[in-house]
Structure 1
Amino acid sequence: MILREARGDDYRSLVTLEQKVVDAERPYNTSLKKKDAYYYDIEKLISDRDSRLVVGEVSGDIVATGYVQIRHSKPALDHDNHGYLGFMYVAEEYRGLGLNRVILQDLVNWGQQRGVTDFYLDVYAENNSAVRAYEKFGFRGSLLEMKLNLGS
């Protein structure tokens, strides 16, 4: 896998992969829109100096993605900024090969070079394989978001 920063000409491929992320997460969240569910401002992630969006390529095809974005932390925390990780995706046929770990390490290294010491990400509690992968990297559960849906 060749790991590189995402470019503007990757936009269409990244939008397609974003929909694969949304589709993969539908079983964990029945409130996701059936159409036009978008998570990321991909253009901003590519151009923002406080973000790093990377892609993993195999034979010219993007098969993995991830980003880190430096964000302001809540005033009660002992760190002013933190790295928020997202768009962590590996194509199904490439899972289990360590690509996610390579991307995570690249993103954490980039954040550390900018003085970031704390990193956060969101993962559905029932997505056991993703939770295990992040725990294997060193993440631990922190805040649990809970939901009450009173709709039909």
Structure 2
Amino acid sequence: MNKKLSDLLFREASIEDLPSLRELEQGVIDAERPFNKQIKKEPTYYYDIEDLLSSDAAHLLVVEVNGRIIATGYAQIRESTPCFTHKKHAYLGFMYVLPDFRGQGVNSKIIEKLLMWSKQQDVEDCYLDVYVENTSAIKAYEKVGFTSSLIEMKLAL
């Protein structure tokens, strides 16, 4: 599906989008299962979508093509730990584009809009999490200016 960015509608998500958002959430989880064998096999949930929709501290975006939601992402303002010079930061999550629409700059445009919103909230620092083996996602985030800053390590006992 080679749609031009001008054909896409970028908008704030609403409660009416909840069923589509739940489906996209499962897409995120399915995409991340190869990177983390501890993710449950049955449907599970990452996000409190209702809270993201109702919170003034969050901005949840969707992207539509012909009335169908094909991508999503959010920025959430969070308190920073006291050791940092910034008191608050933006955290990006729920970054997902349906496979047929990848490679067309949709994710970059979502991030651009989320960063603009974050700046309007007087935020100067932005974070996100990505699995270290997810090289395509890492490249996409680096393309818009993110750099690696911390690697979380785990050990299954």
Partner residue of 1:37 out of 40, 44, 48:
44
Matches of 1:75 and 1:47 in 2, distance apart?
27
Q: Tell me if 1:102 matches 2:109.
A: yes
Aligned AA (1:128): T
**After the TM superposition, which segments of 4 or more aligned residues of structure 1 sit over 3 Å from their partners?**
none
1:60-118 superposed Cα distances (whole Å, 9 cap, x missing partner): 00001000000000110010000000000001000000000110000000000110010
Gaps of 5+ in 1: none
Per the TM alignment, residue 143 of structure 1 is displaced from its structure 2 partner at its CA by 1.1
Partner residue of 2:76 out of 65, 69, 77:
69
Aligned to 2:3: none
Aligned AA (1:12): P
Matches of 2:42 and 2:51 in 1, distance apart?
22
> Normalising by the residue count of structure 2, what TM-score does the alignment of the two structures yield?
0.94
Aligned AA (1:38): Y
SS at match of 2:104: coil
Q: Tell me if 1:50 matches 2:82.
A: no
- Please give the residue correspondences for 1:1-152 in structure 2 after superposition, counting only pairs within 5 Å: 1-150=8-157
SS at match of 1:84: strand
SS at match of 2:93: strand
Gaps of 5+ in 2: 1-7
Matches of 1:45 and 1:110 in 2, distance apart?
14
> Normalising by the residue count of structure 1, what TM-score does the alignment of the two structures yield?
0.97
Per the TM alignment, residue 36 of structure 1 is displaced from its structure 2 partner at its CA by 3.5
Percent of pairs with identical residues: 55
User: Would you say how many aligned residue pairs link Structure 1 and Structure 2?
Assistant: 150
